Amino acid sequence: MQEDIRRQRSGQVMVEALVGLALIVFAWALVSVATFMANNHVRTLMAARHAAWQKGMGKTPSAEDIEAKFFFQGGLTKVECGTGFGIGDLISGTNAADLTEFADGGRGPYVAKVSFGLTAEDLNTTTTFPMNLMGMQFPLMPSPVMEEFLMVESHCQWDEVGETWSDWKKALDGVMDTLKGEISGFLRGLVDL
């Protein structure tokens, strides 16, 4: 009887159903992750815009604030802000998207990058949800590769809209800062060319 079960009709249907179910579950998981990350990718873009605008208005965007406004999951959001590109950089072809570190020059325009998900560091420490539940590495999936699937990020640049040079001192400082910043940006652009 044991050797006949695979040849019997009921056994055949069961095996096929299990294979089919496994396929569907796999596809369902894939769709769920894809939808979740795609949705959050769009959210990072809106969050980056908000963070850049906040910075431009003279506030410092916090990850907690951004997370509360734009995301459903906690502890997975990172916000980085820095000095963005000026008109001198128009000729260089450099792009805020290429930035890995943000320098803070103290003046605008500002660029903000919002990321959501797990970084390679998170995966290695296994302390972040949901890795803390598993405490394992995926086979054939080193952390940097995994990061591409589990983290989305966007950036946005906004000018220093909160500083309108409404008093003399700020106006003079602003003119000097702009001149210095743009000349150095222009030179940097020439060097990059």
Partner 1 sequence: MKLPGFLSTLAGRARAIRTDDRGQVVLLSGVMVFVVVIVTIMTFDMSKAVYNRITAQNSVDAAADAAALWQARGCNLLQHLNNLHYKVNETLFIAESAALISCGVASFAVPGETYTRSLRTTTYAWIWFAAWGTANVSCNMCYTAPWIDWGQEQFAKVVLRVQDAIARVFPVLAFLYADVMAKQSGADNVLSVVFSYVGTIVSELGVDSSSISGLCDELADGIGNLPVAIYAFPLDTSSLKLHVEKKEGTSLPWKWPDWAVSAGESAVNTAAPICNDDSYVMMAGNIDPDKPEDWGWTDEFYWGNPGFMTWIAGKVGRDEVLGIGDLDWFSGEDAEAADVEKNSLSMYAPGSVRNGSSQLKIPAFLAIASSQVEGTPVVSKGPADARGQIIKVYFPPESNPKEGEEFFIYH
**Residues engaged in binding partner 1 (CB under 8 A):** 9, 12-13, 16-17, 19-21, 23-24, 26-28, 30-31, 34-35, 38-39, 41-42, 45-46, 48-50, 52-54, 56-57, 69-70, 84-87, 89-90, 95-97, 109, 111, 155-161, 164-168, 171, 174-175
The partner residues of 155 in beta bridges, in order of sequence, read 113
Q: Where are the beta strands (DSSP E) in the chain?
A: 77-83, 110-117, 151-158
For residues 184 and 88, the answer to whether their CB atoms sit within 8 Å is: yes
Euclidean distance between CA atoms 93 and 83, whole angstroms:
17
Q: Shortest gap between Cβ of 136 and partner 1 (angstroms)? A: 25
Residue among 49 and 143 whose Cβ is closer to partner 1:
49
- What are phi and psi for residue 168, nearest 5 degrees? -55, -50
Nearest to 100 by CA among 89, 115, 122, 88: 115
Q: Shortest gap between Cβ of 155 and partner 1 (angstroms)? A: 8
Q: Shortest gap between Cβ of 101 and partner 1 (angstroms)? A: 16
Q: Shortest gap between Cβ of 6 and partner 1 (angstroms)? A: 11
Please give the structure tokens belonging to residue 28. 């369902």
Please give the structure tokens belonging to residue 127. 């302390």
Residue among 86 and 131 whose Cβ is closer to partner 1:
86
Q: Shortest gap between Cβ of 86 and partner 1 (angstroms)? A: 6
Q: Shortest gap between Cβ of 126 and partner 1 (angstroms)? A: 28
Residue among 68 and 141 whose Cβ is closer to partner 1:
68
Euclidean distance between CA atoms 119 and 130, whole angstroms:
12
Residue among 97 and 183 whose Cβ is closer to partner 1:
97
Euclidean distance between CA atoms 165 and 82, whole angstroms:
21
Residue among 11 and 144 whose Cβ is closer to partner 1:
11
Residue among 13 and 127 whose Cβ is closer to partner 1:
13
Assign residue 55 a region: left if phi > 0, alpha if psi is -120 to 50, beta otherwise? Answer: alpha
